Amino acid sequence: MELSAERDISADRETVWAALMDPEVLRQCVPGCQELTGTPEDGFDAVVVQKVGPVKATFKGKVTLSDMDRPNSLTLNGEGKGGAAGFAKGGADVRLGEIEDGTRLSYDVKASVGGKLAQLGSRIIDGFAKKMADQFFKRFQEIVEGTGEAPQDEAKESSQKQGWLSRFKKDA
Amino acid sequence: MPKDSGIGASTKRREDVRFLTGRGRYTDDINLRGQAYVHFLRSDVAHGTLKGVDTSAAEAMPGVIRIFTGADFEGVGGLPCGWQITDRQGNPMQEPPHPVLAQGKVRHVGDPIAAVVADSFEEARDAAEAIEVDIEELPAVVDMKAALADGAPKVHDDLSSNLCYDWGFVEDNRQAVDDAIKGAHHVTTLELVNQRLAPNAMEPRVAIGDYAGHNDESTLYTTSQNPHVIRLLMGAFVLGIPEHKLRVIAPDVGGGFGSKIFHYAEEAFCTFAAKQLKRPVKWTSTRTEAFMSDAQGRDHVTKVELALDAEGNFLAYRTDTLANMGAYLSTFSTSVPTWLHGTLAAGNYKTPLIYVNVKAVFTNTVPVDAYRGAGRPEATYQLERVIDKAAREMGIDPVELRRRNFITEFPYATPVAVEYDTGDYAATLDKALEIADWDSFDKRAEESAKKGLWRGRGINTYIEACGIAPSALVGQLGARAGLYESATVRVNATGGLVVMTGSHSHGQGHETAFPQVIAEMIGIDANMVEIVHGDTANTPMGMGTYGSRSIAVGGSAMVRATEKIIAKAKKIAAHLMEASDADIELKDGAFTVAGTDKSVAWGDVTLAAYVPHNYPLEDIEPGLEETAFYDPSNFTYPAGAYICEVEVDPETGKVTVDRFAAADDFGNVINPMIVEGQVHGGLAQGLGQALLENCVYDENGQLLSATYMDYAMPRADDLPSYRVDHSCQTPCTHNPLGVKGCGEAGAIGSPPAVVNAVVDALQRGGKDITHIDMPLSPGRVWAAMNV
């Protein structure tokens, strides 16, 4: 399945770019992400728990960043294996454009599934992928703009539940 | 006056008592002491190189007994293909190996990679999740045209291409057909898809392997339509077990529709593993597993051309088919698009020149094999759709065009190598028009119009070939099996009979219909006859049940054995009455001396056979048990005419089958109620194909339709109340019962009638649509009207 969308973020391109490179931001943005470690250069290892229709599974996989043209564009690719549930693969071409109030983030997403996910979920997979992409970029926007709380995550201390932008500024 | 017993009586099915009260004994009802359970880890990808299977973590899981991989089957045979096709150049087809568990590569989603045997099913399944499989995914070939393109990824690296064979039939006619089409007054062409179907027997497949160390005997309990065939194939070709050390039992089987003919990897695995582990090993398929491991049906893409003269006489007919084999050659896969398809290309018509070309193609999909009708539905669909299109193009009434071209003299030798022994196609057509109330269609169309619906009608006249035979011929054509059938009739001392048949009943009602024949022959109550089937240890070698062959071939073997019984019983009766056996008559269960009042009862004779105190021992042996093997001299040729009326909603594209009439000629009928039930079931499957069912793979070879959420089976409210008739009967001329077989007719005859009706409705609604590929879902019909 394929989908394209765009989102306007009230932050400059460098800020948005830096956020995209931050594993902690990605962890908070990837829906159902339990762990995400690594670096933009070597890629990230991720553990994601997701329910697709009737199939709930823990996906272990790798996310790689490529074609990096700071701060204009990059490609994200991920593949997760969910054991008996099958596998999911996806990629997003992300472009950052300058607009008056900040950055226009546009993305083209491609996703495919295999095994039981395809067998049981093919009718709902398009909607699922769209929802995942929407959630990812919505959270990303919230975190970068510092307007939204980080997603609920019981495993994390409440002190970390703050806008990324403020944390970024503090660190800077 | 309907009969209440014997041949022609609508005796209620005795087996239904146990089926309907939950007391059937299916393979999954069998649980052996100490049995272990196997779960197959199947490929998630359609095509890939198997670089490693690490079972170490899984082996440490609770309950795990042993994990098998492809390496355990090195030196073990692969699953054999039962029919070798010779291509147009005279070369044998490309025949790749089919390992029990994948070796080196995986070739379709569902290809078994490893088998976990554990103390419980749950433990086996859990452990399978811990197996680390390293697969390097390769590009998959799904579309047949793409599979044949230069440079396409090869499903089997050792083959020269993905082409299994390029078959021409009759090759000598090729040029003449080309010439006739070139010079014809009118040529109608059509390209159509006969979509892939999943067979969906109500009972999923099950296999239990067992091994007895004390006598080195293996037993396989399996959901099979033909246990003897499985014993021969698995024993001789896969595991190397001689038949006298191998027993195959197929107890009650909940439907097959072809999918349980074939020898499957799971059967061989359970038998093999039980011997290795010295424990029974059981496998029960889940429904989703069935979607990716049961051989699927149809999947032909065909271009057809029909040449006609100005009067509408058929001059020549040419078809060009791509037939999907899937990733491996299933047992009878290769015969379906060839000898079960090309031979039916003449249909009911006297077309003088016919040429059929079939290219069988390997793809990264589940193997394809026979499914209810097997080749004959595809042949009928092509022909009857193109005739309908030709009628429209030439402005000839579709009924009249068919009638004009009917074969009317029998026997009739077609240009595609078969000889129809008998038939009356005009009679079944007239009957169908009558029961369909054809002439008052316009009135019904007006009623539909008032509701805002477009009514259309479609007709289809079909012929099929059942009881595939004779063995000598099919052997010449490449079959690696005979196609006779067997029966042993054992008469007990007190007069009851046991018939041990090589046929197998999995819904057909043999336990009721077969005794009706014997009851008629001897003149006894049918309840004195018991049918035994499904166990190689107590039935003679038989080829099983498929292709509507049971009554025509199996029934004939039973008749021959019973004739031997009667001949011997007459000798005993003659001795008892001190008469000549030539003068003995058998009627109503009593032997009489012609022209006298001397009589002995059936039971007196049978008792004498086993208590031979007063017995002609110098002439005949004691006992009363006979076996016959029957090898038919020809196929049988049921035929009929089907008429469908639909309403199409122009707003939504939804098709409703409002009326369906089926007039069939099955020759003589043993049990009309069972025959009607067979037609009803066949129609449901045919309407399912026409309107609903579709087995879908994405471009990566992922199977998308593997549940009933995604694979639409027909339900009661999708079907009309049928009008069914089988009073037109031209008995088969070459079997003793004059029967033809009825199992597949409904599934063969109905899809073209439905599609013809929908196209007719759209045309009447003002849409110039000449074809829509099945299934005619609302989406497809709407798209044809609007996109």
- Residues B641, B744 within the same domain: yes
- pLDDT at position A152 is 47
Is residue A23 pLDDT above 80, yes or no?
yes
Are B286 and B329 contained in the same domain? no
Number of domains in chain A: 1
Q: Looking at this protein, which amino acid is placed at residue B37? A: Y
Which residue type is seen at A55? V
Cβ–Cβ of B698/A112 closer than 8 Å? Answer: yes
pLDDT the model gives residue B212: 97
Asked whether residue B502 is domain-assigned, the answer is yes
Distances (CA, A) of A141 to A91, A104, A160: 19, 11, 17
Show residues of chain A in contact with B710, CB under 8 Å: 119-120, 122-123
Say which of A87, A120, A123 has its CB closest to residue B44.
A87
Contact criterion met (CB < 8 Å) for B709 and A86: no
Residues of B in contact with A115 (CB under 8 A): 44-45, 109, 702
The 10s digit of each residue's pLDDT in B341-385 is: 999 999 999 999 999 999 999 999 999 999 999 999 999 999 999
For the segment B179-190, the average pLDDT, to the nearest whole number, is: 97
CA distance readout (Å), B410 to B421, B440, B636, B637, B668: 6, 33, 13, 12, 17
Tell me the chain B residues in contact with residue A82 when contact means C-beta distances shorter than 8 Å: none
Chain A interface includes B58 (CB < 8 A): no
Q: What is the mean pLDDT of residues B210-230?
A: 97
B316 and B462 housed in the same domain: yes
Burial state string for B561-590 with b = 16 or more CB within 10 A and e = fewer than 16: bbebbbebbbbbbbbbbebebeebebeeeb
Give the closest of B129, B291, B700 to A112, CB-based. B700
Examine residue B190 and state whether it is found in any structural domain, yes or no: no
Q: Is the ipTM of this complex over 0.90?
A: no
Residues B609 and B711 in one domain: no
Check CB contact of A58 with chain B, cutoff 8 Å: no
Nearest C-alpha in A relative to B698: A118
Is B741:B546 a contact under the CB 8 Å cutoff? no
Q: Does A166 touch chain B (CB under 8 A)?
A: no
SS3 label, residue B444 = helix
Kindly state whether residues B281 and B348 are assigned to the same domain: no
Q: Which residue of A has its CA nearest to B706?
A: A119
CB contact at 8 A, B428 and B461: yes
Mean pLDDT of B579-595: 96
CATH assignment at residue A143: 3.30.530.20
pLDDT at A160: 46
CATH number of the domain that residue B210 is part of: 3.90.1170.50
Percent of chain B with pLDDT over 90: 97
Q: Is residue B559, in this structure, part of any structural domain at all?
A: yes
Phi-psi region of B452 (alpha: psi -120 to 50; beta: other; left: phi over 0): left
Q: Is B283 left (phi over 0), alpha (psi -120 to 50) or beta?
A: beta
How does pLDDT run across B40-79, given as a tens digit for each residue? Answer: 999 999 999 999 999 999 999 999 999 999 999 998 999 9
Task: Kindly state whether residue B474 falls inside one of the protein's structural domains.
Answer: no
Q: Which of B44, B700, B707 sits opposite A120 (nearest CB)?
A: B707
Which residues have CB under 8 Å from B147's CB, separation 6+?
Answer: B141, B155, B162, B361, B362, B363
Grade residue A121 by pLDDT with cuts at 50, 70 and 90.
low
B113: in domain: yes
Q: Are residues B582 and B662 in the same domain?
A: no
Q: Residue A83: which pLDDT band, with cuts at 50, 70 and 90? A: confident
Nearest by CB to A86, from B44, B696, B710: name it.
Answer: B44
Q: Is 50 exceeded by the pLDDT of residue B323? A: yes
Query: In this complex, do B706 and A120 lie within 8 Å of one another by their Cβ atoms?
Result: yes
Q: Give percent above pLDDT 70 in chain B.
A: 100
Nearest residue on chain A to B44, alpha-carbon basis: A115
User: What's the pLDDT score for residue A111?
Assistant: 85
A59 touches chain B (CB under 8 A): no
- On whether residue B327 sits in a domain, the answer given is yes
Show the domain range for A21. Answer: 2-171
Instruction: Choose among B44, B288, B709: nearest Cβ to A123.
Output: B709
What is the number of structural domains in chain B? Answer: 3
Check B702 against A115: CB less than 8 A apart: yes
Q: Do B709 and A120 touch (CB under 8 A)?
A: yes
Q: Which residue in A has a C-alpha nearest to residue B705's C-alpha?
A: A119
B61, B138, B366, B702: best mutation site toward chain A, by most A Cβ within 10 Å?
B702
Mean pLDDT confidence for A136-151: 79
CATH assignment at residue B332: 3.30.365.10
pLDDT confidence bin for B1, thresholds 50/70/90? low
Look up the domain containing B421 and give its range: 297-469+634-786
> Do B77 and B111 fall within a single domain?
yes
Domain assignment present for residue B14? The answer is no
Q: Does A112 touch chain B (CB under 8 A)?
A: yes
Instruction: Tell me: do B754 and B623 sit in the same domain.
Output: no
What is the pLDDT averaged over residues B678-698? 97
Question: Is B142 touching A (CB cutoff 8 A)?
Answer: no
Q: Which of A55, A119, A125 to substitute to test the interface with B, most B CBs within 10 Å?
A: A119
**pLDDT at site A2:** 83
B702 touching chain A per CB within 8 A: yes
| % chain A with pLDDT above 70 | 84
Average pLDDT over residues B6-29: 96
Same domain, B623 and B647: no
Same domain (yes/no): B488, B459: no
Q: Answer yes or no: is pLDDT of B188 > 70.
A: yes
Whether residues A120 and B291 touch (CB distance < 8 A) is answered with no
Same domain, B745 and B730: yes
Choose the weakest-confidence range: A140-154, B130-144, B624-638. Answer: A140-154
**Chain A CB within 8 Å of residue B492 CB:** no
A114 touches chain B (CB under 8 A): yes
Q: pLDDT, tens digit, for every residue of B247-299?
A: 999 999 999 999 999 999 999 999 999 999 999 999 999 999 999 999 999 99
pLDDT score recorded for residue A50: 87
Q: What pLDDT, on a 0 to 100 scale, did the predictor assign at position A85?
A: 86
Q: What mean pLDDT comes out for the span B604-624?
A: 96
Distance set, CA B656 to CA B377, B453, B652 (Å): 22, 10, 12
Residues B149-179 have pLDDT tens digits of 999 999 999 999 999 999 999 999 999 999 9
Asked whether the predicted pLDDT for residue A167 surpasses 70, the reply is no
Structure tokens, B572: 């005993």
In a domain, B186, yes or no: no
For A86-114, how does the pLDDT look when each residue is reduced to its tens digit (9 = 90+)?
A: 888 888 999 999 999 899 999 998 888 89
Whether the predicted pLDDT of B782 surpasses 90: yes
pLDDT tens digits, residue range B418-447? 999 999 999 999 999 999 999 999 999 999
Both B612 and B720 in one domain: the answer is no
